[in-house]
Structure 1
Amino acid sequence: MPDEAARARTFADGLGLPGLLDLHTHFLPPRVMAKVRAQFDAAGPLIGRPWPLHYRAEDDVLVEALRSFGVCRFTALPYAHRPGMAEFLNDWAAGFAERVPEAAVCATFFPEPGVAAYVASRSADVEVWKVHVQVGAFTVTDPLLDEAWGLIAATGTPVVLHAGSGPVPTEHTGPGPVAALLARHPRLRLVVAHAGAPEYGEFLRLAETHERVALDTTMAFTPFFEEMGGAYPPALLPRLRDLGLAGKVHLGSDFPNIPYPYADQLDALARLGLGEDWLRAVCWANTAALLDQTGERFLGLDS
């Protein structure tokens, strides 16, 4: 992994950054992660194609890998796929953040009785929420979630939301339900995962027209992802540039559940040709601002 680390660090150094801030990484309880990896290995129904994982190790090894890449802040992003699971994941993620100083405190929620109560109980501590409607098989407009969404909108805590129809569409994915959710809760601070793939234009428009909606870059623009769901439309790139410079595009990787080296995501962003200012914003400044985590506060460095 030394060559991979050198590639990532050279990227950040070339931009004059002290490192990288990655808003979309995954750490899960060991038994849950094992089941997730089994789905990727089997190209399960929500995967849809062979997905040879490039990273497969225990948490301490994976954390050290991110550190070697120069990632200074990252997430756990648990996500529940059935009732009664969210709080187990949330307890584990809180413990992970206690053990790993670079990890943001992350949590998830699910449409179930009592969801508003446990969201309220964690709101003071959670830095990033995660919702995955494709895996969870629910719509963001489920009435059971309405009070929870209201609480999260009031606190302004970001929600990394997988709502795009990639890699496999379901009845719950797509921009329509998210637009309906924002009509109900326009102050929600959503970060749409994977740049909304494959509904890139629709989710870009939601980010442009809603003050607190943003995108992350997770897997987007990489050859693997473009083979699967189509290339990002070139006509949208000027708007993506403007959105990033406005603070509303964030670096995400999906590490460790990716089928290529970490630095491939960084190379893909550079190939877009949107400029070094855009790269600096996406890979550091935007997420620093989102997490209220300046370089000076976290690293003792100027941001």
Structure 2
Amino acid sequence: MKLIWRWFDNVNWAIGYRLPEMERVKRLHHNGIKNFTTLNYAHKKNMAKSLNDWTYANFRNWEGAIPFGTFYPEEGVLNYVKQAVEEYGFLGFKLHCEVSKLNLNDPELRDCFLYLETKQIPIVVHTGTAPLPGEFTGIHFFKPFIQTYPKLHVIVAHMGAHEISAYASLLGDYPQLALDTTMVFVDFLATGNASDVDSAIPLLETFQDQIYFGSDFPNLPYNLNHPISKILDLPISDKAKQKILYQNAKNRFFK
């Protein structure tokens, strides 16, 4: 976490919740967040399994935590993914294509994706080009991936920004595909310009069953109540707001 914060400091990105671990959990609860996912990811080999082990050893200390793991294209990856699901009871995984320089179409990950598809375990994937593009980010990498695993539960972080409309165009054809709202409908435009954000608002109504609230807490340059309030103030139905902020996640993780 210190290394991540150091990177943000170098690009003048304020960390709103640079607090000890348990204090961060308290702040979540204070803002009405009853449950939240643990989203670690590896940026090199021989790292992902240790992150999973650490999460398993600690997540029970964080009231409301929903344990997510991660994985990386490397020898033994399927074994520790199975361990995370079958022994640790993890309910999802996180991948970051930009930071990890990870190609979703890497054949070394095929067995993992097929396994998670069968188990109906979701993955949150940062595959968009915002705030920075990467070697393997963008819709041209994601589209063949979702075509290969059409029943895989995938939640695209940041609604796929800067290509929100391209990712949203896939939602009708892939009912297991979803987007999250992380840093999209806020005043800090790291994921697009104002017109891009405004044009995405109707998508929240149309695809209300396939949108999840996301925040990127604790690495926020604003208060946590800001993205929550912005969703509540949008010109969409109360039913859509309830699904996005609460019900969709409840249906996914508390069946």
Question: Which TM-score band applies after superposition, normalised by the shorter structure?
Answer: over 0.9
Task: Give the Å deviation of 1:142.
Answer: 0.8
Tell me whether 1:105 sits opposite 2:73 in the alignment: no
Distance 2:82 2:118 in 1: 11
1:168 and 2:136 aligned: no
Matched to 1:238, the amino acid is P
User: 2:251 aligns to what SS in structure 1?
Assistant: helix
Q: TM-score, normalised by structure 2?
A: 0.95
Question: Is 1:141 aligned to residue 105 of structure 2?
Answer: yes
- Map Cα deviations across residues 163-210 of structure 1 (whole Å, 9 max, x no partner): 000010112101122211111111110000011111100111122220
- The 3-state SS of whatever aligns with 1:215 is strand
Q: Is the 8 A contact 1:77 1:128 kept in 2?
A: no
1:203-248 Cα distance to aligned partner (Å, 9 max, x none): 111222201000111111111125x62133544432331211xx21
1:222 aligns with 2:186: yes
Query: AA paired with 1:202?
Result: A
Is 1:40 matched up with 2:3?
A: no
Q: Which has the higher contact order (CA 8 A, sep 6+)?
A: 1
Alignment of 1:195-234 (within 5 A): 195-225=159-189, 229-231=192-194, 232-234=196-198
Q: Name the amino acid aligned to 1:100.
A: W
Task: Please name the residue that 1:81 is paired with.
Answer: 43
Q: 1:128 aligns with which of 86, 92, 115?
A: 92
For structure 2, the residue ranges without an aligned partner over 5 or more in a row are none
Q: Name the Cα RMSD after superposition.
A: 1.4
Secondary structure of the 2:99 match is helix
Q: TM-score, normalised by structure 1?
A: 0.80
Aligned match for 2:241, one of 268, 279, 289: 279
Q: Distance in 2 between matches of 1:112 and 1:287?
A: 30
Matched letter for residue 181 of structure 1: F
Q: Percent identity?
A: 30
Instruction: Tell me the amino acid that sits aligned with residue 173 of structure 1.
Output: T
- Given that 1:123 and 1:152 are in contact with CA atoms closer than 8 Å, whether structure 2 keeps it comes out as no
Q: What CA distance in whole angstroms lies between the structure 2 residues aligned with 1:59 and 1:93?
A: 13
Residue 250 of structure 2: aligned partner: 288
2:15 matches 1:53: yes
